[in-house]
Amino acid sequence: MKYLSEYRAPEQVAALLKQIHAETTRQWTLMEICGGQTHSLVKNGLLEMLPDKITMVHGPGCPVCVTPVSVIDEAIWLASQPGVILCSFGDMLRVPGSKISLLEVKARGGDVRMVYSPLEAVELAKNNPDKQVVFFAVGFETTAPANALSVVHASKQNIQNYSILASHVLVPPAMEAILSDPENRIDAFLAAGHVCTIMGMNEYDPIAEKYRIPIVVTGFEPVDLLQGILFAIRQLEKGEYRVENQYTRYVQRAGNLLAQETLKDVFDISDRMWRGIGNIPNSGFEVKDIYRIYNAREKFDIDIPLAEENAACISGDIMKGLKKPFQCPNFGTACKPEHPLGAPMVSSEGACAAYYQYYGEELTAK
């Protein structure tokens, strides 16, 4: 890649749209997995430029959006404990728990701090030996290596007042959960390029084969997404199904082997609850027993009751591709960024936030 502008060039976009229109002969429903892909599609107006025969639906690839209320309640409980500094990325602060948010805990005197890297939290623990520092480790495979590395760094420096509250989730099991749903109507996936940069593409092959569905790994710029859509449409029109790589400038089939080794060193694969979707087997990371002093759940013996999701929020249907954000009766009325009913209206990668930011309260999105 020489210049980012190459992947936003109007002439490239126009040429790809012309090809997509020419080659699409049937109705197809495609799901982009990642919230970053969703925001790019909406921000750049690409949904309106696609043929009417193509329906884009928005997947569960927003880490904040899929974090269940009960896990947020765990973070809120930790942030409320004396002597605890709770560190988090900014998106998580406004997501409502069952009663309040982390931002409200901070307003009430809790020591809640926004950081840009888990290594900042490790350094904070090193400089505050009289405090317990907990990093709220949320994310997909993309951010998991850095969070695992923070545990390794803390261990090597014998910093024992650091721990992570792990809520990592994995993409392939979520894809299988969506495809196994009786209401599923997805014909092809656009897989997230940054996840595949870490994990590679091999784990997607069995899914494509089992469900006979094209999976195209894409980047996040307009040209990336349109080229990925074109690749998927070509497979669908020919009755083919395989894993294809549009994001060749970053993604290699085997992925980042060093990052994968770090993940295996620190985490075990575990079942994980997903907001609006439920429990998905083998879809998360949990800290291994050998690093248990860095596992906040173990260190603080957290026992938070399972919290009910807000019944007024249809995030599960949105993230399974069954509904669009504007099909929620509360979109733009009872649910807005300043008073969200659920995480997809809060997160910078949330589908509801994207529609609200770029369409406002107009229900004209494709």
CA-CA distance, 272 to 167, in Å (whole number)?
8
Would you put residue 51 in left (φ > 0), alpha (ψ -120 to 50) or beta?
beta
Question: Which structural domain, as residue segments, surrounds residue 212?
Answer: 4-63+171-245
366 residues of the chain, pLDDT tens digit each: 456 778 888 899 999 999 999 999 999 999 999 999 999 999 999 999 999 999 999 999 888 899 999 999 999 999 999 999 999 998 888 888 889 999 999 999 999 999 999 999 999 999 999 999 999 999 999 999 999 999 999 999 999 999 999 999 999 999 999 999 999 999 999 999 999 999 999 999 999 999 999 999 999 999 999 999 999 999 999 999 999 999 999 999 999 999 999 999 999 999 999 988 899 999 999 999 999 999 999 999 998 888 888 889 998 999 999 999 999 999 999 999 888 888 899 887 899 999 999 988 665 434
200 in the same domain as 88: no
Domain shared by 91 and 179, yes or no: no
29 plus 166 within the same structural domain: no
Quick check: is 341 in a domain?
A: no
Q: Residue 140 falls within a domain, yes or no? A: yes
pLDDT at 112: 97
Same domain, 160 and 198: no
**What's residue 366's pLDDT?**
40
Whether residues 143 and 290 share a domain: the answer is yes
pTM of structure:
0.92
Residue 15: C-alpha distances to residues 9, 227, 235, 333 (Å): 10, 10, 19, 39
Distance of alpha carbon 202 from the chain centroid: 20
What is the predicted pLDDT for the residue at 85?
98
- Is 30 contained in some domain? yes
Q: Structurally, how many domains does the chain consist of?
A: 2
- Quote the crossing angle between the two packed helices 35-43 and 351-359, to the nearest 10°: 10
What CATH number should be reported for the domain holding residue 223? 3.40.50.11750
Residue 72: inside a domain: yes
Chain mean position to CA 172: 12
> In terms of domains, do 157 and 181 share one?
no
Predicted confidence at residue 63, as pLDDT, reads: 87
303 token code pair: 């026992």
Is residue 351 domain-resident?
A: no
pLDDT at 364: 40
- Within a domain: 232: yes
Rounded Cα gap, residues 47 and 309, in angstroms: 30
pLDDT at site 363: 55
CA neighbor of 133 nearest in space, from 319, 294, 324, 268 = 294
Q: Which residues contact 161 (CB under 8 A, 6 or more apart)?
A: 125, 128, 129, 131, 132, 133
Q: Are 183 and 232 part of one and the same domain?
A: yes
d(CA 172, CA 251): 16
Q: How many CA atoms lie within 13 A of 27 on its CB side?
A: 2
Query: Does residue 329 lie within any of the structural domains?
Result: no
Same-domain pairing of 9 and 147 = no
Domain C-terminal end among 264, 299, 334: 299
Last residue of a domain, one of 183, 213, 245: 245
CA 344/CA 321 separation, integer angstroms: 13
Residues 165 and 175 in one domain: no
75 and 97 housed in the same domain: yes
Task: Report the CATH number at residue 100.
Answer: 3.40.50.11740
The span from the CA of 72 to the CA of 54, in Å, is 36
Q: How many CB atoms lie within 10 A of CB 86?
A: 28
- Whole-number Å distance between alpha carbons of 260 and 351: 29
In a domain, 346, yes or no: no
Residues 92 and 176 in one domain: no
Q: At which of 299, 329, 361 does a domain end?
A: 299
pLDDT at 66 (0 to 100): 92
pLDDT score at 342: 83
If asked whether residues 177 and 215 sit together in one domain, one would say yes
